[in-house]
Chains A and B, each alone.
Chain A
Amino acid sequence: NAGVTQTPKFQVLKTGQSMTLQCAQDMNHNSMYWYRQDPGMGLRLIYYSASEGTTDKGEVPNGYNVSRLNKREFSLRLESAAPSQTSVYFCASSVQEEVYGYTFGSGTRLTVV
């Protein structure tokens, strides 16, 4: 019963490098989300996907792109990493947000040097 699986768990990048954070859920959820969490800032929404085939920007989308590959998978790409993107990234999914809330993955700790 995996739930939401994120890879990798840790990553160090150099400024300007690119990488993709992977997220997969096995709960048949329609909605998937990417958040970043920084000290004192709380969780901020980067991008979300209400259903397979759709994606929309959240409050902090600059510097990121996403792909909803299928119903299970939602990836987050950093095309040219910057130190300001050092953060903890969480993927989440939901079947009915107002009733069940979100289920989160265990997070990816990203450091950009």
Chain B
Amino acid sequence: RKEVEQDPGPFNVPEGATVAFNCTYSNSASQSFFWYRQDCRKEPKLLMSVYSSGNEDGRFTAQLNRASQYISLLIRDSKLSDSATYLCVGPVTGGGNKLTFGTGTQLKVEL
């Protein structure tokens, strides 16, 4: 089983919609996670960190649910420019400081 798992999508939403992605993780001891954004044919870029208290940055909110072992990313008022693949990232179990990446959830925001 992968350490972090995501629904690959695609999620097709109209501009202005609210969309949420979830990512499940297997190691209950994991404490810090990240959401990365990856545009087509580009490198992944850090979008947000996710800690136990959650995190909010403008239209983006990330939360950690320890009881059910998942993290979420909520995007409000979607823009065309939000179209990308969103990668869930967590620590490797027993892997020192290494991080492991989900395969990504594709978001397409349409007019």
Contacts and interface: CB of A to CB of B under 8 A. Distances in A.
Interface of A: 31, 33, 40-43, 45, 48, 50, 58, 90, 94, 96-107
Main secondary structure of the interface of A (DSSP, over half): mixed
A42 B97 contact: no
17 contacts: A31-B97, A42-B101, A43-B44, A43-B87, A43-B101, A45-B98, A50-B96, A50-B97, A97-B97, A99-B49, A100-B46, A100-B49, A101-B36, A101-B49, A101-B89, A105-B43, A106-B42
Interface of B: 31-32, 34, 36, 42-46, 49, 87, 89, 91, 96-99, 101-104
Given A100-B49, A103-B46, 9 more contacts: A31-B97, A42-B87, A43-B101, A94-B97, A96-B97, A97-B98, A99-B32, A101-B34, A104-B43
Given A50-B97, A90-B43, A42 B32 contact: no
Nearest to A109: B41
